[in-house]
């Protein structure tokens, strides 16, 4: 059974409890890595300035509870050129989250940067963010 590295676990601990629970379930079945949880304002400013992000209204920034309500994650090892792998992984993560929500194990559903509105049409979005997942309020 795959397990998270110390680095992935420390990143995951900066995230909303529902994100933590979903990815603790996902790792039991799919080897994955947590690329990023919480960001500082300075990091986000740098990402916007360099084009890595498009907004200062990121859910990676500390929210009212002090946690990130977003996480960047992917199957391990990460292949940045394999968009299909990110899409397949996103489907697995979202399916796991949906099942956990139905079971009452989490409160919020997650959204993926592969398909922001979860309508199955991934080509309609101008921003594709394969590793991104966030809590839907």
Q: What is the pLDDT of residues 55-105, one digit of tens each?
A: 999 999 999 999 999 999 999 999 999 999 999 999 999 999 999 999 999
What gap in Å lies between CA 72 and CA 65, rounded to an integer? Answer: 19
Cβ atoms of 28 and 5 within 8 Å: the answer is: no
Burial category of 134 from C-beta neighbours within 10 Å (exposed 0-12, middle 13-18, buried 19 and up):
buried
The model carries a pTM of: 0.95
Q: What are phi and psi of 126, to 5 degrees?
A: -75, -25
């Amino acid at each position: 059974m795959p397990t998270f590295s110390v680095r992935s676990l420390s990143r995951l601990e900066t995230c909303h409890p529902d994100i933590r629970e979903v990815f603790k379930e996902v790792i039991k079945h799919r080897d994955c890595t947590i690329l990023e949880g919480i960001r500082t304002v300075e990091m986000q400013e740098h990402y916007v300035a360099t084009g890595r992000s498009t907004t200062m209204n990121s859910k990676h920034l500390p929210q009212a509870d002090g946690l990130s309500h977003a996480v960047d994650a992917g199957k391990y090892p990460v292949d940045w050129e394999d968009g299909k792998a990110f899409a397949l992984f996103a489907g697995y993560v979202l399916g796991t989250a949906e099942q956990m929500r139905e079971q009452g194990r989490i409160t919020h559903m997650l959204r993926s940067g592969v398909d922001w509105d979860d309508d199955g049409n991934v080509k309609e979005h101008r921003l594709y963010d394969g590793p991104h997942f966030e809590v839907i309020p």
